Structures are given as C-alpha cells and as structure tokens.
Amino acid sequence: MQYRTIAHTVVSAIGLGAMPLSIEHRPDERQAIATVHAALDAGVTLVDTADSYHWHAGEVGHNELLIARALARYGGDTSHVLVATKGGRGRPGDGSWTVTGTPAHLKRAAETSAKRLGVEAIGLYQLHKPDPAVPWAESVGALRELLDAGTIRAAGISNVTTAQIRQAHRILGDGLASVQNQYSPAVRDTEPELRLSEQLGLAFLPWSPLGGISRSSLDGPSGPTSIGTAFHRIAAERGVSAQQVVLAWLLARSPAVIPVPGASRPASITDSARAVELTLSERELAELEDGLPS
C-alpha cells in the first residue's frame, strides 16, 4: 500500500467508499463485513461513511453501525484506521435525498455519529452538502464549534465550489482537512476545486471515482458502463482491470487525491487497492487524457 495525508493523519492512498454496503441493492451483513475486512487486509486505512447511508426510513446510521461492527470483529489492529463520516443529508426512505445544514442539526448529527462509531472524537467529519436554505458560514461555523468542543478532530466539506472552500478555510483554518467532490473520467468539472485543495494543503477525495467506466452504486443494477475506452485498452495491455487504471490515473492527477471507490464485494476492494502498484507512463497518461470526453 502507498500512503497519503489527511491533515496530520497518514492514510492509505486508496480508501473504501462504504455507501454500497447500506443503500439499495446492498449485500447481506456477512458479505458487507467481509468486504470491510478485505479492505483492511489489503492495507486500506481510510473508510468513508455517512449517517445518511441507509436504504429504508428509520435506519439512519446503518452504515456507521455496520462499519463499527466490522472493525470490532476484525482480527487485527484497527487503531490506525481513519473512519470519515458525514452529516447534513437525509434519506426519507423513498429513494430521495434531503439536505439539512443548520448548526443545531449538524452538531447533533456529529454527536450521534460519534456514539454509533463508538469513538470519543470523530477522526474526520464532513459537511455532506451545502444547504441552500442556510448561510454557508453558519453551517461551517458548526464544524468550528465541533472542533473546539473536541467532538471531531478534523473537518471536511463535500459537494462544494471554490468560493465555498475559500470561505470554509477562512473559518476553520487548519481544522479544514479535506474536500470531497465528484471527480472521475466522466466528471471533471471540479478540476478547479481539486487544484485549490492542492494549493491549500487539503486532501481531495473524489466520490464516484470510477464514473464513466464502472456503474455507480446510485445507478442501480442496470446502470450504464463504458467499454472500449483508453482506460480499457491500457488495462488490457497491462493485464489489470480498467478500474485499476482509473484509480492509478486519479492518483497521478495530484498528490492531494485520495480516491474512495465504493465496493460491495471483497474482490472489488481488493482489486481497487492494487491500483497503488500501477504506475502509468507519460505515454499512457497522455493517451488517457486524449481519450477523455470533452
């Protein structure tokens, strides 16, 4: 495994996106826990979750509780594993997503997430999405209060613009550790946010990093995938999966990038973790760049 840094914490260069283990079409608990354990066996030390990663109404925190159980049942040392969770979104149970960014909600959500995870302080707590009904400074201010209270050790923001990153950085200072935006071969309009994160010393965690190559968990079982791309051609030449090529490409984009691909099977995260062993040549990187959708 290779490693990168979130704030002052060293983590694996590939994380585990745990959302598929709890939302629609989720595996049974035995397979879900086996997937987390496979990630740990592969050297993954970053697990990304959220209180809203659940399927049905009335099961808020399903994914956080699952991760806590999986870590507790693992046979090895997990003290070095960073569990990053998020608050500010909800799922009524009808497939939709809501946004609530009031300070009262965020502070209460963080405290409850800490209890579910069984920790005194959350290693990385991320504001899941800006709430258009709440001033951004007020939502970020809640993260400042959580940092000051010791409820969280580091703060992150997700689904944000460069202006929101700059404002959050002014409010949180060194307490701001990460930005999590969608970024993949198919979705690269958050390149400015990636470059600003790099400039400010923030980790950049692409969500849905395999977009355009592999189906996202949110797409459902019949979601679209691509074939015959430059990623697939290079994968065939190297004898690896296209997913590994995508993740290696992401790692090469910036030292700030830490992809968190989702997985619902042990084989998936084991394959993803191997991307750190794949170093793409300048020729391959240029070929991939040329093949990206405009």
Is 183 part of the annotated catalytic residue set?
no
- Nearest one of 244, 201, 262 to 21, comparing CA atoms: 262
Contacts of 104 (CB under 8 A, 6+ apart): none
* Contact present, 142 and 107 (Cβ < 8 Å): yes
Q: Which residue has the tokens 């399903």?
A: 62
Choose, from 53, 74, 125, 183, the residue flagged as catalytic.
Answer: 53
How is residue 234 written in tokens? 């290079």
Is residue 246 within 8 A of residue 271, CB to CB? The reply is: no
Would you say how long the chain is, in residues? 294
The helix (H) or strand (E) run that includes residue 204 is strand 203-204
Active site residues: 53
